[in-house]
Amino acid sequence: MKKKKVMIAIVVFLLILLIITIAWYLDDQSKNYSKLEVSDSLIAMQNNYEEEFETEGFTIDNPNIILNPYHISPLTALVIFETETEVSPHVTIVGKDEHTTYNQTFSKGTKHLLPIYGLYPNYENEVIIEYTIDNQKISKTLSIQTDKLPDDFILPTSVTSSKEDLSNELYFFSPSSKGYTCAYDINGDVRWYLTTNALWDISRLENGHMLISTERRVNSPYYMTGLYEIDLLGKIYVEYSLPGGYHHDYDELPNGNLLVATDDFNNDAGTVEDYIVELDRDTGKIIKEYDLKDILNMEDGKSENWTAYDWFHNNSVWYDEATNSITLSGRHQDAVINIDYETGKLNWIIGDPTNWSEEYQKYFFTPVGENFEWQWSQHAAMITPEGYVFVLDNGNNKSKNKDEYVSATDSYTRGVMYKINTDDMTIEQIWEYGKERGSEFYSPYISDVDYLAENHYIVHSGGIVYQNGEVQNQPAGLGGYDRLVSDTVELLNDKVIFEIVLPTNNYRVEKMPLYSNDEYNLSEAKELGTLGETEVTKMKIGPILNSLDIKEIEEKHNISFSKEKDRLVFTGQFKKGTTVNILLYKNLSSKVYNVPISKKPYTALCIDVFTDEENENGITITKYINEIGLEGEYSIYLEIDGKIYDTNKYVEF
């Protein structure tokens, strides 16, 4: 009996050893494959650039001048030198006139790394650095030659400036179609731009840094992985990643946290642009969530652009400290809504109450006063310091009843300000600009308003679209076009003091000074937050046998795999109805990720800078598989309509 047990144990041991050997053999195949190398992220490249910076041994007479130090902001430079005693350098970037000359005084020290902003392109720029030692003024004039603008850079077709009424701040534009994130001065000259895709809002934070979108998508058509906190040199200080990514807008709270328009891609209803989160700035963690499906009826107040997929289309986020509330803009319900910050409960709705359920009627206002008009398909809703509601009224259709729609040629876009009384629920229109401009100022999408001071505003009609000489009622990326216009107007006491017209469409405009209160430093960038774990469709147990070589179909479907720092990226082109899965194989099991082949019913393509085209080969599809939940080496297979193809590649997480 004892011998028998020993024999059984030996057999079991040998079987286990055999299974382990087979598993090792099957799994070891990755060693014969090519490994997907990780593409450099902006932060990784930033670290490499900074390692090359020479900071020792330079004087004011022989400074180290690094043009475009981070390789994404060509009209900037970093000037490095040392002084024997502590001084506070003053920098003058000499403009083409007194209105476009910029000055900045930097903190006292002996080692100086001075960020130089606002250089002209294709120009020998004059930069003066001055400081005082022992009552003696030291002055050094530097000459910094810049390269010309890219051939596809957008320049103004018209600039009007009332210079006696203007400061020398810059107008920062974010693109919607062709163009760059950039800034123009009051002469219309380009004084700053980024070569990377930086979309959506581009405001400054309290610490002086700017907050822009990352250049990476988390989902089509324009949902980005998150946000970069940067300076104008293009140096990244923090990267914030969110599972639902970032779109349209954010707002900085008094506690420093960020309210971010994001998505919940795994929600049961399958909707987008109806989800807001509060992001902890110190940790990158999401600490508060607002799901608009819990606040509003998705079927109410439908505009022409409403779809079940994008029923609300939130395009702005604004926190008001006086009322501890959040104001949001739902383009596809023609509704500006206000919710309680603490509870998320609905406070009020601004918009035409037509086609809204009875339960919501109490949240609407009753118009009072003369010349009142509701807003339609609006953007950029905010609360002014006076407590007014300021909004960009795009003006689409001007009715919820199809038989009463106003055509694009008879429409107009305007900035409008409302005074609301939440006690008696009345609303009064107290200011507007744009109606008098008629259809030439009509933007059926995007656009912006900004409050600069009392009676001092910007109205930005950024999405004017023409085809065959007629203004259109659809975004450029949906209805087609042969001419685009972006028209930005600054008003002071109802007088137009600045106007810049560009032959493109721009999402937003912010008027900001060239320099702020931030201090440049060589600190390492923080990477906070997470993209979350990609849902596994199913698990398959066992080896993958009889797979085909992907070279048979690689070119036909334009298949590519790449590895980013935190995810695997797959791109291919497939016809609707095709079943596509990615298999990540390790240890005799496969994690299967479905790749949906479908085209969403977009009715508000706000950003048209990507090319996920559809042709006779099908729809271009991108699938992202995040590293969370994955560890080690995985062989990559692709399954198309039941046939499994070996990519001859492996990925390591």
Residues 554 and 602 in one domain: yes
Residues 405 and 552 in one domain: no
Is residue 14 pLDDT above 60, yes or no? no
Residues 541 and 484 in one domain: no
CA distance 314 to 643: 41
Residue 225's SS3 state is strand
Confidence of residue 646 (pLDDT cuts 50, 70, 90): very high
Sheet containing 102-105, strands listed edge to edge, beginning at the edge strand earlier in sequence: 102-105, 90-93, 124-133, 136-145
CA distance 218 to 444: 26
Confidence of residue 246 (pLDDT cuts 50, 70, 90): very high
pLDDT at residue number 328: 99
Tens of pLDDT, residues 61-112 = 999 999 999 999 999 999 999 999 999 999 999 999 999 999 999 999 999 9
Tens of pLDDT, residues 426-448 = 999 999 999 999 999 999 999 99
pLDDT at residue number 602: 86
Residue 501 is assigned to a structural domain of this protein: no
Is residue 136 pLDDT above 70, yes or no? yes
Tens of pLDDT, residues 539-563 = 999 999 999 999 999 999 999 999 9
- The pairs formed by 204-207 with CB atoms below 8 angstroms and a separation of 24 or more are 204/510, 204/512, 204/516, 205/229, 205/252, 206/252, 206/256, 207/517, 207/518
Question: Residue 644 is part of a domain; what is its CATH number?
Answer: 2.60.40
Kindly state the DSSP code that residue 115 receives in the 8-state scheme.
E
Domain count, the chain: 3
Residues 390, 415 contacting (CB under 8 angstroms):
yes
Residue 449 is assigned to a structural domain of this protein: yes
Q: For the chain, percent helix, then strand, then coil, each to nearest 5?
A: 10, 45, 45
Residues 414 and 487 in one domain: yes
Residue 279 is assigned to a structural domain of this protein: no
**Paired residues of 502 in beta bridges:** 486
Is residue 420 pLDDT above 90, yes or no? yes
Residues 481 and 538 in one domain: no
Confidence of residue 32 (pLDDT cuts 50, 70, 90): confident
Q: What is the mean pLDDT of residues 139-164?
A: 98
For 580, the domain range is: 533-652
Residue by residue, DSSP assigns 415-442 as: EEEEEEETTTTEEEEEEEESGGGGGGG-
Which domain-ending residue is among 119, 145, 171?
A: 145
Question: Residue 93 is part of a domain; what is its CATH number?
Answer: 2.60.40.3100
Which residues does 501 contact at the CB level (< 8 Å), separation at least 6? 156, 157, 158, 159, 485, 486, 487, 488
Which domain-ending residue is among 123, 145, 167?
A: 145
Burial class (CB in 10 A: 0-12, 13-18, 19+), 526: middle
Q: What is the mean pLDDT of residues 225-250?
A: 98
Residues 329 and 431 in one domain: yes
pLDDT at residue number 30: 47
